[in-house]
């Protein structure tokens, strides 16, 4: 895959900003399903439900969505930096797949945020408790791939 030589000098900054964006994205991906757990427990159109709608919308629009975009843009910049990826190593394929799955989880959460905003209760409290663990599992696999590079 072609790389861009000009990115080499920016590598430490790109990597640092990428990591910051990952942390922000993960925080939001872990918090939003927790808000959904609480939201699924309260009556429709109650004061608490309305407050949770605001919290969910702000979390998604101010943190989760911008952080995901930053993760992808900065990640692509890292991939295009000469010497960062050994294209024959298998670890980065697994990492990329996990990031794609994490992005899928992001979109599932966003779609359900819209359902909660319409006063629908798309899934059970138990579902949201389980969904709260999905980003954690994906993150663990991603970190192992990047740090240990097992294959």
For residue 14, give Cα distances in angstroms to 8, 38, 110: 10, 36, 27
User: Given the structure tokens 């943190």, which residue do they identify?
Assistant: 63
What mean pLDDT is reported for the chain?
A: 96
Distance of CA 77 to the CA centre of its chain: 18
Mean pLDDT of the region 125-142: 97
Task: Say what the pLDDT of residue 2 is.
Answer: 81
User: In the 8-state DSSP scheme, what is residue 115?
Assistant: H
CA distance 36 to 105: 14
The predicted pLDDT at position 87 comes to 86
Quote the pLDDT of residue 26: 98
Mean pLDDT of the region 28-36: 98
Residue 145 pLDDT > 90, yes or no? yes
User: Mean pLDDT throughout 61-77?
Assistant: 98
Say what percent of the chain tops pLDDT 90: 95
pLDDT at position 1 over 80: no
| 101: exposed, middle or buried (Cβ count in 10 Å: 0-12, 13-18, 19+) | middle
């Amino acid at each position: 895959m072609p790389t861009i030589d000009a990115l080499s000098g920016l590598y430490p900054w790109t990597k640092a900003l990428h990591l910051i964006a990952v942390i922000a994205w993960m925080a939001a991906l872990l918090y939003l399903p927790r808000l959904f757990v609480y939201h699924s427990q309260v009556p429709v159109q109650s004061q608490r439900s309305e407050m949770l709608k605001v919290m969910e919308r702000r979390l998604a629009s101010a943190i989760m969505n911008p952080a995901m975009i930053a993760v992808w843009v900065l990640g692509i910049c890292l991939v295009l930096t000469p010497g960062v990826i050994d294209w024959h190593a298998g670890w980065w394929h697994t990492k990329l797949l996990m990031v794609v799955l994490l992005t899928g989880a992001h979109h599932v959460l966003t779609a359900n945020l819209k359902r909660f905003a319409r006063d629908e209760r798309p899934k059970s409290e138990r579902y949201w408790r389980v969904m709260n663990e999905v980003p954690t599992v994906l993150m663990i696999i991603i970190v192992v791939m990047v740090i240990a590079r097992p294959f």
